[in-house]
Amino acid sequence: MSATRPLTEEAIVSAALAVIERDGVESLSMRALSRELAVSPMAAYYYVKSKEDLLDLVAERVLAGIAPPARPDLEWPARLRLLVDQIEAALRHHRGIGDVLLDRMHNTQRHVMRAIMELLSEAGFDDQDVVMAYALIHTYLFGRYRVTTQPPPKPSPPLGGEGPTEDEDIVARIRPLFPKLRGRDYYDFGIETLVQGLQRQLELKRP
């Protein structure tokens, strides 16, 4: 795709993102990347020292625009919501990248981590609770995208006509609803529940 030579780190990251968005993050191999760049399989290694390194750069690019909301008029729950909404939007736009970020809490872009931690700290959480609250938010935000709400391509359940059995099985009743809800619905419910839980935690500590 990129006909530009010589290679640059920027071009490599762009190509990686292009592969991820087109074929999914599981299809991004160093070899697929080299095909995208129309260079030999080892060319990118002159610029990045490993695939992990490359993924860190990709994550950096995706989260580059995240900034703490400049809305001192709002309470911390609303400000937290505005902040994580930005992250969610970035992840939603770059499908698959959330998975990359999940297990790298320590490599999270410093500005993103700082924005969330400062907000929590100002809200009144002590340092230890900031750690745990951050970890909780991190796990939810970046873990979300690994969880699939689409059922596997198994034989689809026959539409129409009452199922022959087990109308008292809650799983049979609820499971069909999974794909009916949109990613946005899951996110809204999830993050709202988290924020309310955090508010409650704070109330319990400072009565």
Nearest to 19 by CA among 56, 65, 55, 43: 55
Closest CB 77 distance from its own copies, rounded Å: 11
Stretch binding DNA (CB under 7 A), from 1-9, 58-66, 71-79, 102-110: 1-9
Residue 160 gets the label, from left (phi > 0), alpha (psi -120 to 50) or beta, of: left
Measured from the CB atom, the residue of 15 and 141 that comes closer to DNA is 15
Choose among its own copies, DNA, none what residue 9 binds, the Cβ cut-off being 5 to 8 Å by kind: none
Q: At residue 181, what is the residue type?
A: L
How many angstroms separate the CA atoms of 105 and 58, rounded? 15
179: preceding bond cis by omega (within 30 degrees):
no
Q: Distance of CA 70 to CAs 67, 88, 133, 138, 143, Å?
A: 9, 18, 22, 22, 27
| Binding track over 86-115 against DNA, x by CB under 7 A | ------------------------------
Residue 47 as a binder of its own copies (CB under 8 A): the answer is no
| Binding track over 48-77 against DNA, x by CB under 7 A | --xxx-------------------------
Write out the binding residues for DNA, residues 23-52 only, by CB under 7 A: 28-32, 39-43, 45-47, 50-52
Closest CB 6 distance from its own copies, rounded Å: 30
Measured from the CB atom, the residue of 3 and 147 that comes closer to its own copies is 147
Buried b (16+ CB within 10 A) or exposed e, 21-39: eeeebeebebebbbebbeb
Residue 10 as a binder of DNA (CB under 7 A): the answer is no
Residue 53 as a binder of its own copies (CB under 8 A): the answer is no
Residue from 131, 157, 184, 205 in contact with its own copies (CB under 8 A): 131
Q: Distance of CA 200 to CAs 88, 118, 140, Å?
A: 23, 19, 18
Choose among its own copies, DNA, none what residue 32 binds, the Cβ cut-off being 5 to 8 Å by kind: DNA
